[in-house]
């Protein structure tokens, strides 16, 4: 039986998933599966879309990860905690929501964490959007204490407040802002890079380009770096696993 999947978002020109799943289906000889990009202008088009295209599973990306919540029959614990869904399974016409970004991020950084020498490392997260919330949940599960940096939201560090003391209190710094993402590849978060040390771990969720200015500056200070490519693959594979669960 043909099984159809897809990704919704707007716009979707940059989406990684259709290409990833096309290659996967070819490699694994899954000739009965299709995966398409559906750039919808309104989240309320989703139910009709699922019905018209007989979709069994959907990935959700910007700007619908939160807007999709009211349309779901049930969301799993992780998605509830994060407040965002990036994977939907359709079972008997009902929509079940999951968040596989948390899994993806966690899996992608485990090898890196094995290299951290400090017993209780602390993480500084740049940005407070959907990806930041997934990263926060991942660190909560890993028992790693965190703080966030925002351009202005209360309860976070401000970029202008970051200094040597603060930067040296954290071992891991994660960029969850879109700064540095193609085509705007010259930009980077405004942190005082001069205080980075070779014991810092810099993680960027961006995967295009592979080495952002944020990571390049980290390398200049001999930090260990990691981009978002592995996270992307892990979250996609977790979606696949969820869609195929009985």
Ligand X SMILES: NC(=O)c1ccc[n+]([C@@H]2O[C@H](COP(=O)([O-])OP(=O)(O)OC[C@H]3O[C@@H](n4cnc5c(N)ncnc54)[C@H](OP(=O)(O)O)[C@@H]3O)[C@@H](O)[C@H]2O)c1
Interacting residue with ligand X among 58, 87, 123, 205 (CB under 6 A) = 205
Residues 201-229 as b/e (b if ≥16 CB within 10 A, e otherwise) read: bbbbbbbbbeebbbbebbeeeebbbbbbe
Please give the Cα distance from 106 to 110 (Å, whole number).
6
Cβ(200)–Cβ(223) below 8 Å: yes
97 binds ligand X (CB under 6 A): no
Please give the Cα distance from 63 to 57 (Å, whole number).
18
In the complex with ligand X, which residue's Cβ is closer, 30 or 62? 62
* 65 labelled catalytic: yes
Interacting residue with ligand X among 49, 62, 112, 122 (CB under 6 A) = 62
Q: Candidates 28-36, 116-124, 164-172, 175-183 — which segment interacts with ligand X by CB under 6 A?
A: 175-183
Q: Which of residues 65-84 bind ligand X (CB under 6 A)?
A: none
57 binds ligand X (CB under 6 A): no
Cβ(12)–Cβ(38) below 8 Å: yes
Shortest Å, Cβ 90 to ligand X: 22
In 128-192, which ranges are continuous DSSP H helix? Answer: 130-141, 164-169
130 binds ligand X (CB under 6 A): yes
Residue 211 pairs in a beta bridge with none
Q: Which of residues 208-237 bind ligand X (CB under 6 A)?
A: 228, 231-232, 235
DSSP assignment letter at 157? E
Shortest Å, Cβ 177 to ligand X: 4
Shortest Å, Cβ 52 to ligand X: 27
3-state helix, strand, coil in the chain (%, to 5): 35, 25, 40
Interacting residue with ligand X among 150, 196, 200, 203 (CB under 6 A) = 150
**Catalytic pick among 3, 23, 26, 65:** 65
Contact positions toward ligand X, by CB under 6 A?
Answer: 62, 101, 104, 127-132, 150-151, 153, 176-179, 181, 205-207, 228, 231-232, 235
Catalytic positions: 65
């Amino acid at each position: 039986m043909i099984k159809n999947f897809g990704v919704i978002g707007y716009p979707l020109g940059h989406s990684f998933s259709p290409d990833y799943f096309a290659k996967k289906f070819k490699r694994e000889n899954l000739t009965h599966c299709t995966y398409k990009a559906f750039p919808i202008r309104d989240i309320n088009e989703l139910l009709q879309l699922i019905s018209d295209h007989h979709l069994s599973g959907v990935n959700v990306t910007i700007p619908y990860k939160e807007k999709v919540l009211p349309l779901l029959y049930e969301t799993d614990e992780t998605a509830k905690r994060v407040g965002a869904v990036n994977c939907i399974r359709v079972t008997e016409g009902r929509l079940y929501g999951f968040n596989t970004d948390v899994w993806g991020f966690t899996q992608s950084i485990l090898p890196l964490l094995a290299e951290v020498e400090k017993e209780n490392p602390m993480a500084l997260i740049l940005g407070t959007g959907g990806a930041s919330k997934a990263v926060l949940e991942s660190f909560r599960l890993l028992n790693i204490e965190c703080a966030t940096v925002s351009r202005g939201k209360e309860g976070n560090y401000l970029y202008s407040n970051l200094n040597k003391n603060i930067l040296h209190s954290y071992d891991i710094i994660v960029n969850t802002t879109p700064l540095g993402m193609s085509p705007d590849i010259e930009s980077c978060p405004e942190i005082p890079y001069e205080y980075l040390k070779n014991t810092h771990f810099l993680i960027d969720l961006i995967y295009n380009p592979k080495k952002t200015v944020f990571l390049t500056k980290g390398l200049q200070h001999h930090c260990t770096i990691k981009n978002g490519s592995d996270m992307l693959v892990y979250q996609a594979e977790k979606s696949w696993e969820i869609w195929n669960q009985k």
